[in-house]
Amino acid sequence: MDFRFSQDALDLADGARSFLDGANPPERLRSEDGRDSLWPQLAALGLLGVLAPESAGGLGLHDDSFVLIAEAAGRVCLPEPLVALAAISVPAVLATYPDEVGGLVRGDHVSPPVHPLAPYVHDADKADAFIIAGPDALYGVPSSKARLTPVKSIDPNRNLFRVEADLTDDLKVGGAGLCAVMAVRGATYTAAQLLGLTDAMIQMATDYAKEREQFGQPIGGFQAIKHHLASAQVKLEFARPVVYRAAASLDVDSIARQQVHAAHAKIAANEAARFASEVAIQVHGAMGYTFEVDLHYFMKRAWALETIWGDTAHHSMIINQAVIDGGLDIGPGTTFDAA
C-alpha cells in the first residue's frame, strides 16, 4: 500500500497553512467580540468544499486530503467551525440532498451537525439549518424550528448553544447509518484538530524554554525540560499516523472498521494533547493558564475537544467490543491488502 499523501493534498495543505497562519494569529483569538469572520476567505479558497464534487463548486478530493487541513485549523486554534461544516455537514448533505451542497461550499448557508456525542453547537445562532442525528434517523431542521439555549464553554472562542427540535417524520433525511457515519467523521476530524493543537503547544513551550532563564541560562538547557518536551513530541508523532489512518479509512473501509480506526485516533490524539498541555503549563511555570499568555487559548480548546465526539472512555469501549468481544477480525492480514 502507498501511504503517502498525493501532491495535490500536500499543495492544498501548504496553502491552507499559509493562509491560516497569516489570517488567524494568536492576537485574533483575543478579539472575541470584534473580529471579522473568515468565512468569505475560507469559501474563496475552496476549503469549505474540499470534499464536495466539482459539479457543486467543490474540489472533489478525499478525506486523506482534508485531514491535513483540519490539522492546520487546529494548529492556529481557528474560531470558525470550518472542520464541522466541511468534513461532517458537507458529506451528510451530499448523501441526502446533493443539489443543496453548493450553498454550503460557497458559504451562503451554514448547516452545522448536531449529535448526541456533540450536542453543543458552536455559532448555532448563525446557522440556517441543522443536521441532527436522532435516535434512529438523520433530520434536516430549519433554524426557525430549532430551540437554542446558550451554554458556557471553557474555551472563550467557542460560542456554544444546545440545539433542540421536534424531530418529526417530515424532517427525516436519512437513516441511522448516516448518524453512525457522522459520529465516525466527528471523532476522526476532532482528533486531527487535536494534532494541530498539540503541535502548537509543544512549539510554544519550546520557544518559551529558549527565552526563559534560570541560574544564568535558558531553562531549555536543563535535561528535565528537554525530556518532558521530547516525551510530548513522541506522543504527537505516535498519534499522527493513527489519525491519518482513520481519515484514509473513511474512503475505503466498512463502517465497523471506520469506527475502530476513529476510536483509536481519538484516544491517541486525546492523550497527546492532554500531555502536551500539561508539559506546556509546567514549562511556563503555570503562567500558561493565565489570560496574558497565548498558550491558554490552545490548551482550553484542547480540553474542550477532548470530550466531544466521544471521550477516551467511550472510544475505549468501542475498541474493547471490536477486539475482545470478537466483533471484528484483527491482525496484519485484515489490516493491509496487497495493493
Enclosing domain of residue 263: 177-335
Distance CA 39, CA 123 (A): 12
**Lowest pLDDT segment from 41-50, 64-73, 81-90, 216-225:** 216-225
Asked if residue 58 belongs to a domain, the reply is no
Phi/psi of residue 214, each to 5°? -140, 140
CB–CB of 307/231 below 8 Å? no
Asked if residue 100 belongs to a domain, the reply is no
CB–CB of 273/197 below 8 Å? yes
Asked if residue 185 belongs to a domain, the reply is yes
Report pLDDT digits (tens) over 302-311. 999 999 999 9
At 287 the pLDDT is 74
Q: pTM score, two decimals?
A: 0.94
At 1 the pLDDT is 57
Report pLDDT digits (tens) over 61-106. 999 899 999 999 999 999 999 999 999 999 999 999 999 999 999 9
At 223 the pLDDT is 62
At 338 the pLDDT is 44
User: Of 143, 18, 152, nearest to 75 (Cα)?
Assistant: 18
Asked if residue 123 belongs to a domain, the reply is no
Mean pLDDT of 19-42: 89
Report pLDDT digits (tens) over 252-285. 889 999 999 999 999 999 999 999 999 999 888 8
Asked if residue 19 belongs to a domain, the reply is no
Residue 239 predicted with pLDDT over 80: yes
Asked if residue 84 belongs to a domain, the reply is no
Number of domains in the chain: 1
Q: How many CB atoms sit inside 10 A of residue 242's CB?
A: 19
**pLDDT-above-90 percentage for the chain:** 76
At 185 the pLDDT is 98
CATH code where residue 249 lies: 1.20.140.10
Mean pLDDT of 50-70: 94
Report pLDDT digits (tens) over 287-302. 777 778 899 999 999 9
Distance CA 289, CA 113 (A): 31
Distance CA 135, CA 214 (A): 57
Asked if residue 121 belongs to a domain, the reply is no
Asked if residue 14 belongs to a domain, the reply is no
Confidence of residue 339 (pLDDT cuts 50, 70, 90): very low
Report pLDDT digits (tens) over 101-159. 999 999 999 999 999 999 999 999 999 999 999 999 999 999 999 999 999 999 999 99
CB–CB of 78/95 below 8 Å? no
AA letter at 141: V
Contacts of 270 (CB under 8 A, 6+ apart): 191, 194, 306, 311, 312
